[in-house]
Amino acid sequence: MTASRIAAAFELAAGERRSAFIGYLTAGDPAAGGTLALARSLDRAGADVLELGVPFSDPIADGPVLQRSAERSLAAGTNLPAVWRLARAIRRESATPLVLFSYLNPLLRRGLERSAAEAKAAGFDAVLVTDLPPEEAGEIQPLLRSAFLDTVFLVSPTSSVERMRSAARLSSGFLYVVSRAGTTGARDFLPPTLPATIVRARRARSGGRLPIAVGFGISTPAAALAAGRLADGVVVGSALVAAAETGGRAAFETLSRRLAAACRRATPPRTGGRP
């Protein structure tokens, strides 16, 4: 495979000695047009990567903010074909890399091979299946990669050494480090164990150059700056969705710009392999 848009985004950030800013949106919340407008705001703010979430009726990894977002999206009739249409609309306006953020069930219901092909055709660059552990990805990851999609896996503070190695081996694009145990949601501070978790994740790459991104609980520019000094990328989801929920597009774009600026000020360690 040729280098992906995601690899290029991390390479650009590394060359500029900053951390990549990865923003999350729930597709179809509050409606397709609303998501497209928020994607434009992220683009203007300088986001390096956009995660586009597929709404699901049983989002076990999500906290209250993203649960409400999924409920609004499902009520608006969002399904996978609607997500594909939205991705194509974003891709017509922007070259920002797109990550499909989904639970496994919606992809299985449509058919994994069909979902992978349609995601790629719609303009997605990678897939992150929230509830797919590396131990159960033996047949699924090659199928996604054969559709020329990067595959992103999650590791957490409680992941064993072997699970981290498996996740790193199966990941392309980046390895997603969950900052804390539990569900998504804004927090006031980063856990003190995060530096050690990221060190373990870097070691799990076995000398590789796979970028490390950290997410779950990052809600403020100060937290993004601190996380960006540890990792190659910073993922913000709940805080952005909450800003749009309570303050509309203006509040969302203001927070996006502040988060992007914080990531630009962050200088991740150059040891341990950068992209």
* Residue 263: how many other CB atoms lie within 10 Å: 26
62 is catalytic: yes
Beta strands in the chain (DSSP E): 20-26, 49-53, 98-102, 126-129, 150-152, 154-155, 175-178, 212-215, 233-236
- Cβ-in-10-Å burial (0-12, 13-18, 19+) of 90 comes to buried
136 is catalytic: no
234 has which bridge partners?
21, 214
**Are 4 and 97 spatial neighbours (Cβ–Cβ below 8 Å)?**
yes
Cα gap 15→159, rounded to integer Å? 30
Interior CA angle at 48 toward 88 and 85, to 5°? 10
Q: 29, 43, 58, 62: which one is catalytic?
A: 62
Q: 11, 16, 48, 51: which one is catalytic?
A: 51
Q: Which of 227, 216, 235 has the alpha carbon at shortest distance from 61?
A: 216
Would you please indicate which residues are annotated as catalytic (active-site) residues?
51, 62
